């Protein structure tokens, strides 16, 4: 990615379009965080593309003064793959929601992650369908009462971190709409990562699913329940740092620090090749209802799809020379008629 | 077998203008290979030719059954031909099932070559015969030649390194060798091909060559084969030729189209019969900067192509019927975002999974209308294998010039059939314009929906271009700015504009051409792969004195500007189609003409005679 010395301000990334989310929506905060980060990222804005599918979050590209493509429901990872592979020099960002990414677009999401296409996926998880006015989503909790589940949802929800890690995504992280510092840190780490990055951002839908993330955003919840994952540091949390995470027989567990020796506390390592530990961390919570890890779960180096595609093309040109139509149409053998 | 050199002192060679040969066997018997080899040798010899491969959808359908029969028909001629022939004059049947499946097509007194070793009781029953057809009298009206192909193969490979069951894999080469003898075709080309193909397995090449030769020598040795035939070189226009099938011609057309437009090709596809060979062919040619993307599904393939188009590639997604259905919503996105995109649909029998390896023209309506909302786009159809090359370039021209998705229709018949193609001079190929821009186009700044006054195309500003940052999407856009607009008058205007833009292309394409009798009162109008059969049928009728002419559409949407003028000159318009009547509906609706259909969907192309008879009947009605 070519970095050029551009000095941007947040307003350089604000488009002239009126933002039309509901007043109080978490999307506003995320938009502000992303616009601020884009100014900081240092990539010239004509090289930045925002691609989205359908849903409230998917309106995001219209509000970014970059290139943008608002596509169709669930397909943003596939569209963005085309954008990115066609021009590997671009910084390509996908903005999506839990329905868009994990329901209608689940297939595209896992394949983009598996292939390690150089796209950054921001999935705003509000655990509800907002734009269609309040049906349960694939991340809604079991028993959730909505218009389409008046007796309570009977579905077990996806754990988005587990899904991404199961697809062996090379970068996996979680943030929270209200926490702009954490969001900025995660965006920065993602932007520096080569390959696909999956970022779940807990996003409050104050109209259809208000207070869904209170356990992590309220004054008390914030200190009690957030498990901040920081690379190279012991995973300790709680109002008085009284809790810790251990990994025993490959399984993560929350323990009272008083019950163990500090040397037994898991020291977070985002670079582990095997995704099992990160996966195990993702199982510490099955939703924002109690202690929940946030931050970067995994960041490993592996070849990007874009690079491999370019390399094969270069190798073919090296071996065969630049393609010539004259040769192509004779490649099956010819004969002359005189 | 004795070591005496075979000889055929009393050999006679009869010169014939054309011959149609069909090879039929189990799907594991290598009939496609034999047919292709005989075709290529005949092409190199200088015959005109056309082929019709036909195979089951299963890779290895149950051995010995009718369902498992695979066949390859080729017509070679010393004159210009347009079809792979109606009824074969030679049928090679490798087992009873192949005989049962194909005998009814063999011309009276046709040459029937049977692999006698396969006519065991078990195989005869499996094919559904109650009694051995060789003794039942049902072969009496044919010239039957029984050849112990398996025994010969075993003999030939006695000293080979190939042993056991693998030996019999070469029996198809015995058949090829024998046919090569009967039709005076040299073996060298196939020997070279085998040596090249099995470069790393010389024992396999050797075994096949031995089998090929023993088949040829069997012809020399057995007196019954001493009357041989030769089809002379065809008097084709001067030039350099190659033998090409529709899928390869289409692939090369896409590569060339991109090159002529100064763009790079991006081809996204999900494997599907019979379109996969386009993906295979394009994947070989990365040195043209061609990117091939095997997507996770049909929708992703279309979506990635839209993304690549947004990034400035000549973007193409290829599929067959079921895949086109899945891509429908994404094609609508390309209509709305007005991005250039080629959607290749190699049609097959439908509905649903239908007949994956059989030809049909039943996606015409779906291609023109199969999207939600008012969603017009140009549709072109390939008429013969080699025609796919220029039609793919034409599809690229229209997509790029008018900023629109285009559907390019082929079908299993042209995709897998082959014919000689006179290579074009590269300098004669058209240069294709595009709407790429790097500059601001209005005083108010860059307007992504500010249109060209002639083509109504919007500018194509791709990411990476400074100062032209903009957002587009599937929500209705405001004319000019491209901003989201729910304004009712704007939606009416944009809907009309999208329709005008496509209708306007009618002025910019080849006019419809009429061939055949100038005094005809009947016109046969066709589209797509029926071209060969229609033209040949009309020629036959003209020779008989029947006054009839034909015209063939490449663009089925929009119709060329002169279509109305032409159709209005005729008292009768007959429209043959491999569907239950689709073009006919469009013609009736558009031109208020009481056109007459000739339709079938029996998994086979029209033969020329079938159409000639059908047309004559309709004329006399």
Within 8 A by CB and 6+ apart from B617, the residues are none
What is the radius of gyration, based on Cα positions, of chain A?
Answer: 22
Residue among B424, B426, B420, B346 nearest B386 (CA) = B420
As a whole number, the mean pLDDT across chain A is 96
What's the whole-number mean pLDDT along residues B488-516? Answer: 98
Interface test with A, best of B189, B310, B428 (most A CBs within 10 A): B310
The predicted pLDDT at position B237 comes to 93
- Taking only the tens place, the pLDDT of each residue in A190-200 is 999 999 999 99
Q: Which two tokens stand for residue B336?
A: 């709305």
Instruction: Read off the pLDDT of residues B381-409 as tens digits, 9 standing for 90 and up.
Output: 999 999 999 999 999 999 999 999 999 99
Six-digit token pair at B308?
Answer: 């690549």
B237-269, pLDDT tens digit by residue? Answer: 999 999 999 999 999 999 999 999 999 999 999
Residue found under tokens 């090929």 = B212
CATH number at residue A71: 3.40.50.970
Q: Smallest Cβ distance to A86: which of B252, B307, B429?
A: B307
Q: A154: helix, coil or strand? A: coil
Q: Does residue A120 lie within any of the structural domains?
A: yes
Collapsing DSSP to helix, strand or coil, B291 comes out as strand
Å between A167 CA and nearest CA of chain B: 14
Distance separating alpha carbons of residues A120 and A4, to the nearest angstrom: 20
Q: Is residue A241 part of a domain?
A: no
Residue B218 CA, distance from chain mean position: 35
Closest-CA residue of A relative to B254 is A325
Mean pLDDT of chain B: 96
Portion 256-295 of B in contact with A at CB < 8 A:
256, 259, 264, 266, 268, 285-291, 293, 295
Query: Model confidence at B5, in pLDDT bands (50, 70, 90)?
Result: low
Could you tell me where in chain B the CATH 3.40.50.920 domains are found? Answer: 514-620
pLDDT at position A270 over 70: yes
Give the pLDDT mean for B189-194: 95
Whether A72 maps to a domain, the answer reads yes
β-strand pairing of A236-237 with A243-248 = antiparallel
Strand order across the A236-237 sheet: A236-237, A243-248, A251-256
Inter-chain contact B307–A325, Cβ cutoff 8 Å?
no
| Interface subset of B 544-573, CB within 8 angstroms of A | none
Handedness of CA B21, B249, B83, B543 (dihedral sign): negative
- How far apart (Å, rounded) are the C-alpha atoms in residues A263 and A246? 10
Of B237, B296, B313, which is closest to A108 when you measure between CB atoms?
B296
Q: Cα separation of B212 and B227, whole Å?
A: 20
pLDDT of residue A1: 47
Tell me, yes or no, if B430 comes closer than 8 A to chain A by beta carbon: no
Which whole number is the average pLDDT over A225-239? 98
Q: What percentage of chain A exceeds 70 in pLDDT?
A: 98
Find where tokens 């049947």 sit.
Answer: B93
Q: Can you give the residue range of the structural domain that contains A84?
A: 10-223+293-312
Chain A residues within 8 A of B315 when measuring between CB atoms: 82, 86
Does residue A15 belong to any structural domain of this protein?
A: yes
Count of CB atoms situated within 10 Å of the CB of B557: 22
> Could B291 and A47 be called an inter-chain contact, meaning their C-beta atoms sit closer than 8 Å?
no
- For chains A and B, what is the number of CB pairs under 8 angstroms? 214
Residue ranges in B506-601 assigned as alpha helix (H): 531-543, 563-567, 583-591
Q: Are B300 and A110 in contact (CB under 8 A)?
A: no
Question: What is the C-alpha separation between B384 and B439, in angstroms, rounded?
Answer: 42
Angle CA(A220)–CA(A221)–CA(A224) in degrees, nearest 5? Answer: 85
Chain A residues near residue B291 by CB distance under 8 angstroms: 85-86, 309, 313
Q: Does B44 touch chain A (CB under 8 A)?
A: yes
Class of domain B243-428 as given by CATH: alpha beta
Does a cis peptide bond (omega within 30 degrees of 0) precede residue B351?
A: yes
Collapsed DSSP state (helix, strand, coil) of residue B213: helix
Pairing, β B265-269 against β B291-294: parallel
Residues in chain A within 8 Å Cβ distance of B424? 329
Where, residue-wise, is CATH 3.40.50.970 in chain B? 243-428
- Å between A256 CA and nearest CA of chain B: 45
- The CA–CA distances, whole Å, from A189 to A299, A301, B116 equal 9, 13, 72
Phi, psi angle pair for B191, to nearest 5°: -60, -50
Q: Which of A46, A78, A319 sits opposite B295 (nearest CB)?
A: A78
- Dihedral of CA atoms B255, B329, B410, B520 in degrees, nearest 10, equals -120
Burial of B594 from C-beta contacts in 10 A (0-12 / 13-18 / 19+): exposed
How crowded is residue B302: how many other Cβ atoms within 10 Å of its Cβ? 36
- CB contacts of A108 in chain B (<8 Å) are 296, 299-300, 303
Q: Of all residues in chain B, what percent carry a pLDDT higher than 70?
A: 99
Is B299 in the A-facing interface, judged by CB distances under 8 Å?
Answer: yes
Interface test with A, best of B43, B256, B287 (most A CBs within 10 A): B287
For an interface test with B, the pick among A77, A82, A316 (most B C-beta atoms closer than 10 Å) comes out as A82
Fold of B514-620: Rossmann fold (3.40.50)
CA–CA dist A205, B323 (Å, integer): 37
Tell me the per-residue pLDDT of B563-610, one tens digit each, with 9 for 90 and over.
999 999 999 999 999 999 999 999 999 999 999 999 999 999 999 999
Which of B248, B300, B484 shows the shortest C-beta gap to A78? B300
Say which residue the tokens 């692999």 belong to: B115
Residues B27, B57 contacting (CB under 8 angstroms) = no
Cα of B182 to nearest chain A Cα, Å = 23
What residues does B417 pair with on adjacent strands? none
Closest in B285, B307, B467 to A82, CB measured: B307
Q: What's the whole-number mean pLDDT along residues B284-305?
A: 98
Q: Please give the backbone phi and psi of residue A130, each rounded to the nearest 5 degrees, phi first.
A: -90, -55
| Helix residue ranges, H only, B342-455 | 364-369, 387-402, 412-416
Q: How far is CA A132 from CA A129, A201, A311, B451, B479, in A?
A: 6, 20, 44, 34, 27
Cβ pair A86:B474 closer than 8 A: no
* Residue in the block written with tokens 């015969």: B129
Alpha-carbon distances, residue A244 vs A217, A253, A258, B127 (angstroms): 20, 8, 10, 73
φ, ψ for residue B226 (rounded to 5)? -80, -10
Mean pLDDT value of segment B366-373: 98
Is the residue at A242 inside a domain?
no
**Is residue A277 in a domain?**
no
**Total of domains in chain A:** 1
Is the model's pLDDT at A2 over the cut of 70?
Answer: no
pLDDT at B1 over 70: no
Strands A243-248 and A251-256: antiparallel
SS3 sequence of A21-74: CCCCCHHHHHHHHHHHHHHHHCCCHHHEEEEECCCCHHHHHHHECCEEEECCCC
- Residue B161 DSSP code: S
Residue B379 in this model has a pLDDT that exceeds 60: yes
Question: Cα Rg for chain B, rounded, in angstroms?
Answer: 27
Cα B210 to chain centroid, rounded = 33
The CATH code that applies to domain B12-231 is 3.40.920.10
B94-119 mean pLDDT:
97
């Amino acid at each position: 990615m070519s970095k050029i010395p551009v000095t941007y301000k947040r307003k350089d990334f604000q488009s002239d379009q009126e933002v039309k989310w509901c007043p109080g929506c978490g999307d506003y905060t995320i938009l502000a965080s992303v616009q601020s980060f884009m100014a900081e990222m240092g990539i010239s804005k004509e090289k930045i593309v925002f691609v989205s599918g359908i849903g409230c979050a998917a309106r995001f590209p219209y509000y970014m003064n970059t290139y943008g493509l608002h596509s169709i429901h669930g397909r943003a990872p596939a569209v963005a793959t085309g954008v990115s592979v066609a021009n590997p020099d671009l910084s390509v960002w996908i903005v999506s929601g839990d329905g868009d990414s994990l329901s209608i677009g689940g297939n595209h999401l896992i394949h983009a992650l598996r292939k390690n296409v150089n796209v950054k996926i921001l999935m705003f998880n509000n655990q509800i369908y907002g734009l269609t006015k309040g049906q349960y989503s694939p991340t809604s909790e079991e028993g959730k009462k909505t218009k389409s589940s008046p007796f309570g949802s009977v579905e077990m929800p996806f754990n988005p971190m587990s899904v991404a890690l199961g697809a062996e995504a090379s970068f996996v992280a979680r943030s929270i709409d209200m926490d702009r510092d954490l969001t900025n840190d995660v965006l920065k780490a993602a932007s520096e990562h080569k390959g696909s990055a999956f970022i779940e951002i807990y996003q409050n839908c104050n109209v259809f699913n208000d207070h869904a993330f209170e356990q992590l955003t309220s004054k008390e919840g914030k200190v009690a329940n957030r498990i901040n994952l920081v690379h190279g540091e012991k995973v300790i949390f709680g109002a008085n740092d009284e809790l810790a995470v251990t990994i025993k027989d490959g399984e993560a567990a929350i323990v009272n620090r008083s019950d163990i020796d500090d040397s037994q506390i898991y020291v977070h390592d985002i670079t582990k090749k095997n995704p099992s530990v990160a996966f195990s961390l993702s199982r510490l919570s099955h939703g924002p209802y109690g202690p929940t890890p946030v931050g970067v779960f995994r960041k490993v180096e592996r070849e990007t799809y874009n690079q491999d595609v370019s390399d094969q093309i270069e190798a073919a040109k090296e071996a065969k020379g630049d393609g010539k139509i004259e040769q192509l149409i004779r490649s099956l053998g010819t004969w002359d008629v005189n | 077998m004795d070591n005496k050199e075979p000889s055929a002192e009393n050999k006679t060679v009869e010169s014939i203008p054309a011959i149609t040969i069909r090879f039929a066997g189990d799907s594991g018997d290598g009939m496609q290979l034999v047919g292709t080899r005989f075709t290529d040798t005949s092409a190199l010899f200088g015959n005109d030719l056309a082929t019709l491969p036909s195979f089951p959808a299963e890779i290895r359908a149950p051995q010995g059954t009718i369902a498992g029969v695979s066949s390859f028909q080729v017509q070679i001629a010393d004159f210009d031909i347009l079809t792979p022939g109606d009824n074969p004059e030679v049928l090679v049947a490798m087992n009873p099932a192949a005989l049962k499946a194909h005998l009814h097509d063999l011309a009276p007194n046709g040459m029937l070559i049977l692999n006698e070793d396969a006519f065991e009781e078990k195989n005869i029953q499996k094919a559904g015969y109650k009694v051995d057809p060789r003794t039942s009298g049902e072969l009496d009206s044919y010239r039957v030649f029984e050849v112990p192909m398996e025994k010969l193969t075993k003999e030939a490979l006695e000293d080979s390194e190939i042993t056991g069951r693998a030996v019999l894999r070469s029996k198809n080469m015995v058949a090829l060798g024998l046919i090569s003898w009967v039709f005076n075709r040299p073996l060298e080309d196939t020997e070279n091909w085998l040596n090249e193909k099995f470069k790393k397995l010389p024992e396999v090449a050797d075994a096949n060559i031995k089998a090929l030769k023993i088949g040829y020598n069997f012809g020399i040795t057995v007196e019954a084969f001493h009357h041989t035939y030769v089809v002379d070189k065809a008097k084709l226009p001067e030039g350099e030729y190659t033998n090409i099938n529709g899928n390869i011609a289409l692939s090369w057309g896409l590569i060339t189209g991109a090159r002529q437009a100064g763009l790079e090709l991006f081809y996204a596809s999900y494997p599907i019969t019979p379109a996969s060979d386009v993906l295979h062919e394009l994947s070989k040619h990365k040195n043209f900067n061609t990117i091939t993307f095997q997507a996770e599904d049909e929708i992703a393939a279309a979506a990635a192509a839209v993304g690549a188009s947004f990034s400035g590639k000549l973007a193409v997604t290829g599929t067959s019927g079921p895949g086109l259905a899945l891509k429908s919503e994404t094609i609508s996105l390309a209509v709305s975002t007005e991005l250039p995109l080629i959607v290749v649909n190699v049609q097959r029998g439908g509905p649903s999974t239908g007949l994956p390896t059989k030809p049909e023209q039943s996606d015409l309506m779906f291609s023109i209308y199969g999207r939600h909302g008012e969603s017009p786009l140009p549709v072109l159809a390939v008429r013969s294998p080699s025609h796919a090359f220029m039609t793919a370039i034409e599809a690229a021209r229209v997509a790029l010039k008018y900023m629109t998705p285009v559907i390019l229709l082929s079908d299993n018949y042209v995709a897998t059939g082959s014919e000689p193609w006179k290579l074009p001079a590269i300098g004669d190929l058209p240069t294709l314009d595009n709407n790429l821009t790097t500059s601001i186009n209005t005083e108010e700044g860059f307007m992504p929906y500010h249109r060209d006054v002639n083509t109504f195309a919007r500018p194509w500003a791709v990411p990476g271009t400074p100062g032209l940052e903009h957002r587009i999407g599937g929500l209705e856009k405001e004319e000019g700015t491209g901003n989201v607009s729910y304004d009712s008058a704007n939606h009416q205007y944009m809907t009309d504009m999208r329709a005008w833009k496509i209708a306007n292309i009618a002025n910019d394409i080849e006019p419809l051409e009429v061939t055949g009798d100038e005094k005809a009162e009947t016109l046969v109008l066709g589209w797509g792969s029926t071209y060969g059969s229609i033209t040949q049928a009309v020629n036959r009728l003209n020779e008989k004195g029947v006054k009839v002419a034909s015209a063939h559409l490449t663009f089925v949407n929009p119709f060329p500007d002169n279509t109305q003028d032409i159709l209005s000159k005729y008292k009768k318009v007959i429209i043959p189609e491999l569907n239950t009547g689709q073009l006919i509906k469009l013609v009736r609706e558009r031109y208020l003409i009481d056109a007459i259909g000739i339709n079938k969907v029996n998994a086979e192309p029209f033969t020329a005679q079938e159409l000639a008879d059908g047309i004559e009947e309709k004329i006399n009605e």
